[in-house]
Amino acid sequence: MLKEGDQAPHFEVLADDGRKVTLADYRGKHLVLYFYPKANTPGCIHEANGFRNMIADFQAQNAEIAGVSADDVEAQAKFSKKLNLNFPLLADTEFEMIEAYGARRMKSFLGKTFMGIVRTTFWIGPDGKIVKIWNGVVPRGHAAEVLTALRGEEPNGSHDDAESANAPTSKS
């Protein structure tokens, strides 16, 4: 299992626009790499919208966003277009990247156990090392939680409350 301080595993996958994307493409920037179960599901929509709506704030921190699932390029492209996303969605149909990052694990739902993608986010620093890992992410308010960490601020309030998690804060 990966831990903070480890070198992020190399990856080479296709993005929703068909171009090849690698970890090296993000060298010198922070990368927020989030894994999600399936395009066009409610939680995945909330999570993607959160990152989309805050992209300028992430870019102000020299950070890029990329979402990853096992959906194919066509499904990722449709999902991205539907939500008007402003960051790439990466297609890992062979689960190589997903497994390298430890995001594919045993899950259970309605009494059935199966291998599935666990909502996980990695903050990878400009040097390619993992700065922070979020496991079992709650989609609502997660983008704000990650941005708070990138800014080096203390979290304020509950992450379950989407309104407070996305509310602007003022400092005196």
Note down pLDDT in tens along the chain; length 172 residues: 899 999 999 999 999 999 999 999 999 999 999 999 999 998 999 999 999 999 999 999 999 999 999 999 999 999 999 999 999 999 999 999 999 999 998 888 788 898 899 999 999 999 999 999 999 899 999 999 999 999 998 665 433 333 333 333 333 3
Residue 44 annotated in active site:
yes
Q: How many CB atoms lie within 10 A of CB 161?
A: 12
Please name the residues in contact with 132: beta carbons below 8 A apart, sequence gap of 6 or more.
Answer: 4, 122, 123, 149
Q: Where are the alpha helices (DSSP H) in 33-161?
A: 42-53, 55-60, 73-83, 96-100, 142-150
The pair of three-digit structure tokens given for residue 108, joined into one six-digit string: 């259970």
Q: Phi, psi (5° rounding) for residue 63? A: -120, 145
Determine the CATH number of domain 35-153.
Answer: 3.40.30.10
Listed by start position, the domains of the chain span 35-153
- Choosing from 21, 31, 44, 75, the catalytic residue is 44
